[in-house]
Chain A
Amino acid sequence: MENAWLIPLFPLLSFVFLLLFGRKLKEGSAYAGILLTLASLVFSVIVLVERMAAPASYKAEAVWLKIGELELTAGFEVNQLNALMLVIVSLVSFLVHTYSKGYMHGDDRFHVFYAYLGLFTFAMLGLVLSPNLLQTYIFWELVGVGSFLLIGFYYFKNEARAAAKKAFIMTRIGDVGLLIGMILLFWQVGSFEYDEIFAAVEAGSISGTMITLTAILIFIGAVGKSGQFPLHTWLPDAMEGPTPVSALIHAATMVAAGVYLVAATFPLFAASETAMMTVAIIGAFTAIFAASIGLAQTNIKRVLAYSTVSQLGYMMLALGSAGYVAGVFHLMTHAFFKALLFLAAGSVIHALHHKQNIEEMGGLWKKLPLTGPLFLMGTLAISGVPLFSGFFSKDEILIAVWAHGNYFLFILAVIAAFFTAFYMFRLFFMVFTGEARSPLGNVQESPATMTMPMVVLGVLAVVAGYVNTPWFGTFLGDWLVEGNEALGHGHIEGPAWIMIVATLVSLAGIFLAYLMYYKKSLARDWFTSRAPITYSIVRNKYFIDEFYNLSVVYATRSVSLFLRFIELFLVEGLMKLVAGVVSLLGKSGSRFQNGQIQTYGMAAFLGLAVLLLIFALTGGYIG
């Protein structure tokens, strides 16, 4: 564990190395990236195993800045949550690196892509290892930069540029909240260290309102990063980036950062009922809200994007309902099956020569003999079908919500689960079954570099759930909360019928999708023709983007325009006035320089005369 600080350095090395030599290596850059992230993965696994065997967390710090009495430290910490996140991040990153070798093949900026991936991975691993808020914030912003670069990777496309800017600005709005929360905590506690903050919270040296305020401010940061309502709109737009990046962003890095932050500062949240309630409500609302949008999207990646938003809402809901274990557990299983789904979707897109509209797909099951079953596995996992990983984690969340007494939120979560099952299977049936709805060209299964990572993730998507089940034991949960009571219990008991209800709801969603999109015994426009307005609202994502454009963006633009006029006329006017006066003075002065010695003499004489006059009048004293 002492060498855990090496883990983020491998991807950083990859980044620097590829920036310097990538141009020469061309597609060989992939090997550098893959090997270095593999090293990270190996170290992460070792650290995880060590942390499991060790009785306590490891923390190493050194003074970074010293200002008077104040000392800012930098270092790293390995606790249960960190160790788990390290493995998730480095594993998904490694698989994405491998996958990209096939997916990005032939791209002109191949090496740049790998360099950016390295930076992104470095930032996330650094974030996960940070023992204090300040360091977290630094890496938090680095993650933002990495996502900006990767989303805007196809910078020659207008949409990609806009999406990158949007992602950057939207998350920045959240970051302001985080920054303010951080500063408030520092003001109250006098330290950025997580340990000291939690100790202060426990000792009651911070007032209740202040805890609520800081917790909510930190949560605003998480809302921006994790794409929760109302700052979710950047996440679906981020689909403009290359698909492996979407997998990385949606599974392990960017969006997980928000959930991770809430989990890492969980004791702070746990101390405030209001903050917990806020987190739970935002989470539940986002879950159902994004799931309902997902029902009507036709772009394969956008459906997955909205499902990510919705699943992140689930995690927030779990954390807000004191289900620390459930939230982290779902973060883990979601990382695997969502990475799988994105990589499989990327494989489909790759096979179809960058076609993304599911209305044009169909009948790919036979043509993509590996991608199809893998996609199905991911779909089953996310839908919460029993025996798959998503089932166990979703079940944990539902139990946690029920046990916390949020019955209304519980109902929302169940409906969201139904939606999830429905739109995921809608996606599956439309892409893989039936007949092709447009000429697809020559469809070929992707190369092994792309399918192998998917196989690994497919296995994980199935088995990852078994580390924490009510049937065989809650190993993960017990281990996560070991030695830290503030995090709650490793396992929350709940009524057995919740599991049955969750299963039934998922199956009902799948069955409905089956009827509509496979058997076609239920017309597809059965609902849309009956409620066209609702359909149109959902299809247009509740007009949130339009609303923002009309309100926030418009207001900002107006203010900017106003300020621009001030700049143009007031500031520049003043400036021009000053400059004009000086140059006028200079010009009139230069008129005297006519080369006539007698004029000069006259001027000197008059000047002397005036000086003498003043001298005489004031009697030799001025003032």
Chain B
Amino acid sequence: MSSVPITAFLALALILFCIGLYGALTKRNTIIVLISIELMLNAVNINLVTFSKYGMTPAITGQVFAVFVIAVAAAEVAVGIAILLALYRNRRTVNIDEINTMKH
């Protein structure tokens, strides 16, 4: 178990985060953007768990936080999907380029 070094976890988290970020910033479909955000949150979760195990002062707190994040992320997705559905009903589109009312 201890053969896997900490850098592997962190590298995984970093790659996951970057993929998520890239997706969130570039994809035009709002659903994909939401999924990308989930990716980023999970990268954070990996970090939290990693440090709770291999950090300077290993403690259970990090894992508790990860559970919290998962719960909050579930709530966030629920709200996000709800907003998206409402938007879709009004605008007939989920294309993020066309949702630019924040300009005004």
- A and B interact physically: yes
Q: Which residues of A are at the interface with B, using a C-beta cutoff of 8 A?
A: 593-598, 601-602, 605
Residue of B nearest to A593 (CB): B103
Task: Give Cα A602 to B24, complex, Å.
Answer: 9
Which of A593, A596, A605 interacts with B96 by CB under 8 Å? A596
Total number of B residues with any Cβ neighbor in A under 8 Å: 13
Q: Mark B72-104, 1 if CB is under 8 A from A, else 0.
A: 000000000000000000000000110111111
Say whether, besides A605-B21, A605-B25, A598 and B103 are in contact (CB < 8 Å): no
- In contact, A601 and B100 (Cβ under 8 angstroms): no
Task: Give Cα A597 to B101, complex, Å.
Answer: 10
Kindly state whether residue B2 has any CB partner on chain A within 8 Å: no
Task: Give Cα A594 to B104, complex, Å.
Answer: 9
- In contact, A601 and B25 (Cβ under 8 angstroms): yes
Smallest Cβ distance from A139 to chain B, in angstroms?
Answer: 65
Q: Provide a sorted-by-A list of 25 A–B residue pairs whose CB atoms are within 8 angstroms.
A: A593-B103, A594-B100, A594-B103, A595-B99, A595-B100, A595-B101, A595-B102, A595-B103, A595-B104, A596-B96, A596-B97, A596-B100, A597-B96, A597-B99, A597-B102, A598-B24, A598-B25, A598-B26, A598-B33, A598-B96, A601-B24, A601-B25, A602-B25, A605-B21, A605-B25
Smallest Cβ distance from B38 to chain A, in angstroms?
Answer: 15
Most chain B beta-carbon contacts within 10 A, residue among A593, A594, A596: A596
Known: A595-B103, A601-B24. 13 other contacts (CB 8 A): A594-B103, A595-B100, A595-B101, A595-B102, A597-B99, A598-B24, A598-B25, A598-B26, A598-B33, A598-B96, A601-B25, A605-B21, A605-B25
* B100: chain A residues within 8 A (beta carbon): 594-596
* A598: chain B residues within 8 A (beta carbon): 24-26, 33, 96
Smallest Cβ distance from B17 to chain A, in angstroms?
Answer: 11
Smallest Cβ distance from B44 to chain A, in angstroms?
Answer: 15
Task: Give Cα A350 to B55, complex, Å.
Answer: 110
The 6 closest A-B pairs by CB, nearest first: A595-B103, A595-B100, A595-B102, A598-B25, A602-B25, A601-B25
Q: Looking at chain B's contact residues, is the secondary structure mostly helix, strand, loop, or mixed?
A: helix
Most chain B beta-carbon contacts within 10 A, residue among A593, A595, A601: A595
Q: Looking at chain A's contact residues, is the secondary structure mostly helix, strand, loop, or mixed?
A: helix
Smallest Cβ distance from B14 to chain A, in angstroms?
Answer: 13
* A597: chain B residues within 8 A (beta carbon): 96, 99, 102
* A594: chain B residues within 8 A (beta carbon): 100, 103
Residue of A nearest to B101 (CB): A595
* A596: chain B residues within 8 A (beta carbon): 96-97, 100
Task: Give Cα A594 to B96, complex, Å.
Answer: 12
Q: Mark B17-46, 1 if CB is under 8 A from A, else 0.
A: 000010011100000010000000000000
Smallest Cβ distance from A592 to chain B, in angstroms?
Answer: 10
Task: Give Cα A602 to B100, complex, Å.
Answer: 15
Residue of B nearest to A601 (CB): B25
Task: Give Cα A606 to B36, complex, Å.
Answer: 18
Smallest Cβ distance from B15 to chain A, in angstroms?
Answer: 16
* B97: chain A residues within 8 A (beta carbon): 596
* B103: chain A residues within 8 A (beta carbon): 593-595
Smallest Cβ distance from A320 to chain B, in angstroms?
Answer: 82
> In the complex, which residues 47-83 of chain B have their Cβ closer than 8 Å to any Cβ of chain A?
none
Task: Give Cα A605 to B26, complex, Å.
Answer: 13
Smallest Cβ distance from A599 to chain B, in angstroms?
Answer: 9
Smallest Cβ distance from A593 to chain B, in angstroms?
Answer: 6
Residue of A nearest to B21 (CB): A605
Task: Give Cα A393 to B25, complex, Å.
Answer: 103
Residue of A nearest to B26 (CB): A598
Smallest Cβ distance from A590 to chain B, in angstroms?
Answer: 10
Residue of A nearest to B27 (CB): A598
* A602: chain B residues within 8 A (beta carbon): 25
Residue of B nearest to A596 (CB): B100
Residue of B nearest to A590 (CB): B103
Task: Give Cα A594 to B21, complex, Å.
Answer: 20
* B104: chain A residues within 8 A (beta carbon): 595
Task: Give Cα A602 to B103, complex, Å.
Answer: 16
Smallest Cβ distance from B46 to chain A, in angstroms?
Answer: 20
Task: Give Cα A400 to B26, complex, Å.
Answer: 106
* B26: chain A residues within 8 A (beta carbon): 598
* A601: chain B residues within 8 A (beta carbon): 24-25
* A595: chain B residues within 8 A (beta carbon): 99-104
Task: Give Cα A318 to B99, complex, Å.
Answer: 95
* A605: chain B residues within 8 A (beta carbon): 21, 25
Most chain A beta-carbon contacts within 10 A, residue among B24, B25, B96: B25
Task: Give Cα A151 to B74, complex, Å.
Answer: 88
Smallest Cβ distance from B79 to chain A, in angstroms?
Answer: 16
Task: Give Cα A595 to B97, complex, Å.
Answer: 9
* A593: chain B residues within 8 A (beta carbon): 103
Smallest Cβ distance from B78 to chain A, in angstroms?
Answer: 19
Residue of A nearest to B30 (CB): A597
Smallest Cβ distance from A606 to chain B, in angstroms?
Answer: 10
Residue of A nearest to B24 (CB): A601
Smallest Cβ distance from B4 to chain A, in angstroms?
Answer: 27
Residue of A nearest to B104 (CB): A595
Smallest Cβ distance from B55 to chain A, in angstroms?
Answer: 20
* B102: chain A residues within 8 A (beta carbon): 595, 597
Smallest Cβ distance from B8 to chain A, in angstroms?
Answer: 23
Task: Give Cα A593 to B101, complex, Å.
Answer: 11
